[in-house]
Amino acid sequence: MRVRMAVVALVALTLSGCVAVPPPGPSAGAIADHRAEILEKTWANTGLSGDAPTATPRTPSTEMEWVEAITGCLTDNGVAASGWSFGSDEGYALLSESGGDVDDPAAQRVFYVCVASIAAPRETDDVLSDEQLDYIYDYYQEWLVPCVIMQGYRLSAVPTRTEFKALGGEWRPFYSVDISISGADYEELERLCGAERPQLY
């Protein structure tokens, strides 16, 4: 019954013209500004003083190619690639095998140069144009939120369009249900209602 209801709703949504071609992405300037902020935070994470080294970045096609490129860059420069963390609000940080900070200025400098010269494809996922935020919000309001409710879930407070934009699009329906959602429940919601974030590219 649930599958049938979800399919019927999706057909109705498609026929009504609500599913549209995604809007253009953010400007090159917005992406460059976002990248500069990430690198500034990454340089701060190294604990090194002075100006950060400059580099012209290249962007591998896939996330896996990026990981391999960073690992290769570190290895080629004598740094054992233990791992690293990333958050758009925190930048990149080199981690030791135990998951802690690396207390080696030379390794930190190499890590920064590698990150600065090889940009991750996913970094641009955090940069959304105003039109893209509208597109995502419309998808949530017109399709995903009603579908989640139709599956028997209640959502915590859904942000207004203005609040959603102020959050940079960070609010997501599946993680706002009124009960703790398991991995299996998440997969089931995706199967019945579709992806939590509409395709933007």
Q: How confident is the model at residue 131 (pLDDT cuts 50, 70, 90)?
A: very high
pLDDT above 70: residue 13: no
β strands within 36-123, DSSP E: 84-87, 91-94
- Helix, strand, coil abundance in the chain, percent, nearest 5: 55, 5, 40
For residue 14, the model assigns a pLDDT of: 42
In the beta sheet, which residues pair with residue 58? 118
For residue 168, the model assigns a pLDDT of: 85
β strands within 19-172, DSSP E: 84-87, 91-94
Residue with the larger pLDDT of the pair 38 and 6: 38
Residues 161-178, mean pLDDT to the nearest whole number: 88
Average pLDDT, the chain: 84
- Report the candidate in 201, 53, 43 with the shortest Cα–Cα distance to residue 122: 201
Give percent above pLDDT 90 in the chain: 44
Question: Which residue ranges make up each domain of the chain?
Answer: 2-25+128-193, 28-125
Residue-wise pLDDT for 176-185, tens only, equals: 887 777 888 8
pLDDT above 60: residue 7: no
